[in-house]
């Protein structure tokens, strides 16, 4: 399929503008010399100022809700029309790249600009979520939880490294937490929501694909496994009489890697270990290790966790080491809306691109919105599979493909009751 020359040239120019805007936004940072922009930090305010200027230039009505989300509305000619929500986030991890989050916001803005003279049968609300990464308060999705009515007093009481609570941070930003219920909710009659995001992994790059449509966001189990051995002198304790907690943990870590490597959709990671007493001349008595298991099917994830706990027990038994497991968090797999996902794949095909189904191994705001409104997600290739890194990048032709797909979707999408 092909576009008309005028449309193709316009999309190419807008894709270049999207990339330039992402890089300009990346210069707004809490830490000079890198891109670090945490929830409701001073850099958030500056990012809002820049984004608001771009939004208003596009003729959008702009406001900030009570949790710090920047929201821009394109009104339909029909006052009582339903609303489509386009969204992604503008906070970052420390020393981040330019595209994780902001790209989705700015591709959506470019599509709205492309269709500025085209009436649509629905309003569009573009939301730049202020918090998704969970860096400042150690808990992700605070902004989208607020929008879907799931933000609790416990969330608002969480504190950052300086002892400032979420509620206090909101107040210091000039907002009122008491207004969250009235200012943060989705617009009435919201019928669909879409997030555009870089893949943050190597699958599309390895298959030389520009785009993919997300069918499901994987479920995740996080546990802490403690190996209780017996600390003793490293020089005087014979090898046959040791209860070495670290040796048991090491065997188990290799078992985790080996098991997960045999299942194509399963990932399992031991990301951190702590060894006590931690001295060079003492047999390790206690080891604490994290376990992160993810799979697009919950039953497969639960089975994997059960198997890996059995492996930990076996490694411990071999060395006289007791094993204790504590679940830190459980997140079920979240499927995207099948009908909306089908429409998104059709839009990509009409625009001339393949967008095969994929699952997301990372969490996104889309998984939070999916509980409240039909939601889908479009991935762009991450060159080299690189993300959460200053060298994170996108290809101009992939941004053009995403923009063409979104424009096509907006032109053909019909609101559902």
**CATH assignment at residue 369:** 3.40.630.10
Q: Phi/psi of residue 127, each to 5°?
A: -110, 125
Give the DSSP letter of residue 159. B
Per the rule left: phi > 0, alpha: psi between -120 and 50, beta: everything else, 223 is beta
Q: Phi/psi of residue 329, each to 5°?
A: -160, 150
Specify whether the CB–CB gap between 366 and 329 falls below 8 A: no
Do residues 145 and 21 share a domain? Answer: yes
Which residue matches tokens 């069918």? 215
> 226 to each of 137, 220, 279, 304, 323, how far by Cα in Å?
25, 20, 18, 18, 6
Provide the token pair at 81. 């029309």
328 CB-near residues (< 8 Å, 6+ apart) = 222, 223, 224, 290
Do residues 179 and 242 share a domain? Answer: no
Choose the final residue of a domain: 286, 310, 331: 331
Provide the token pair at 176. 């009122």
Specify whether the CB–CB gap between 383 and 209 falls below 8 A: no
Do residues 67 and 122 share a domain? Answer: yes
pLDDT, tens digit only, all 417 positions of the chain = 333 334 788 889 999 999 999 999 999 999 999 999 999 999 999 999 999 999 999 999 999 999 999 999 999 999 999 999 999 999 999 999 999 999 999 999 999 999 999 999 999 999 999 999 999 999 999 999 999 999 999 999 999 999 999 999 999 999 999 999 999 999 999 999 999 999 999 999 999 999 999 999 999 999 999 999 999 999 999 999 999 999 999 999 999 999 999 998 999 999 999 999 999 999 999 999 999 999 999 999 999 999 999 999 999 999 999 999 999 989 999 999 999 999 999 999 999 999 999 999 999 999 999 999 999 999 999 999 999 999 999 999 999 999 999 999 999 999 976
Q: Is residue 99 part of a domain?
A: yes
105 CB-near residues (< 8 Å, 6+ apart) = 51, 87, 88, 89, 90, 126, 128
Give the DSSP letter of residue 337. P
Q: Pick from 130, 96, 125: which is nearest to 108 by CA? A: 125
Q: Is residue 417 part of a domain?
A: no
- Our CA dihedral for 91, 93, 96, 99, rounded to 10 degrees, sits at -40
Which residue matches tokens 């497969």? 300
pTM comes to: 0.91
**Domain total for the chain?**
2
**d(Cα 304, Cα 292) in Å, to the nearest integer?**
11
Give the DSSP letter of residue 296. S
**d(Cα 326, Cα 170) in Å, to the nearest integer?**
33
Do residues 200 and 300 share a domain? Answer: no
Do residues 150 and 277 share a domain? Answer: no
Specify whether the CB–CB gap between 92 and 145 falls below 8 A: no
Do residues 338 and 397 share a domain? Answer: yes
Q: Is 303 strand, coil or helix?
A: helix
Provide the token pair at 42. 């001073």
Its domain, for residue 236, covers: 219-331
Do residues 200 and 55 share a domain? Answer: yes
Do residues 210 and 271 share a domain? Answer: no
Q: Is residue 165 part of a domain?
A: yes
């Amino acid at each position: 399929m092909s576009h008309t020359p005028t449309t193709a040239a316009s999309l190419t120019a807008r894709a270049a503008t999207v990339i330039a805007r992402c890089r300009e936004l990346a210069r707004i940072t809490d830490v000079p010399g890198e891109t670090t922009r945490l929830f409701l930090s001073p850099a958030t305010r500056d990012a809002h100022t820049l984004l608001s200027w771009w939004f208003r230039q596009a003729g959008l009505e702009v406001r900030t809700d009570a949790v710090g989300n920047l929201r821009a509305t394109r009104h339909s000619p029909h006052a009582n029309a339903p609303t489509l929500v386009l969204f992604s986030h503008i906070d970052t991890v420390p020393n981040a790249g330019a595209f994780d989050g902001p790209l989705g916001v700015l591709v959506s803005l470019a599509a709205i600009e492309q269709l500025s003279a085209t009436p649509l049968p629905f309003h569009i609300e573009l939301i730049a979520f202020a918090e998704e990464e969970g860096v400042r308060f150690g808990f992700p999705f605070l902004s989208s939880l607020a929008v879907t009515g799931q933000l609790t007093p416990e969330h608002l009481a969480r504190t950052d490294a300086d002892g400032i609570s979420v509620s206090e941070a909101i107040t210091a930003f000039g907002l009122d937490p008491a207004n969250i219920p009235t200012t943060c909710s989705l617009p009435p009659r919201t019928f669909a929501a879409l997030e555009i995001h870089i893949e943050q992994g190597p699958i599309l790059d390895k298959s030389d694909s520009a785009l993919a449509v997300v069918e499901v966001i994987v479920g995740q189990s996080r546990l802490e496994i403690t190996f209780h051995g017996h600390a003793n002198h490293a020089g005087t304790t014979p090898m046959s009489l040791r209860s070495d907690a670290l040796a048991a943990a090491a065997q188990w870590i290799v078992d985790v890697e080996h098991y997960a490597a045999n299942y194509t959709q399963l990932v399992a990671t031991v990301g951190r270990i702590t060894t006590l007493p931690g001295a060079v001349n003492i047999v390790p008595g206690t080891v604490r290790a994290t376990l992160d298991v993810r799979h697009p099917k919950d039953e497969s994830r639960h089975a994997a966790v059960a198997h890996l706990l059995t492996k930990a027990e076996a490694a411990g038994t071999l060395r006289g080491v007791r094993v204790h497991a504590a679940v830190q968090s459980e997140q079920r797999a979240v499927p995207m809306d099948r009908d909306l996902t089908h429409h998104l794949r059709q839009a990509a095909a009409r625009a001339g691109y393949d967008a095969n189904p994929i699952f997301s191994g990372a969490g996104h705001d889309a998984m939070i919105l999916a509980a409240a409104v039909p939601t889908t997600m479009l991935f762009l290739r991450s060159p080299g599979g690189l993300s959460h890194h200053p060298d994170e990048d996108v290809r101009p032709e992939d941004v053009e493909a995403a923009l063409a797909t979104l424009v096509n979707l907006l032109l053909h999408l019909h609101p559902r009751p």
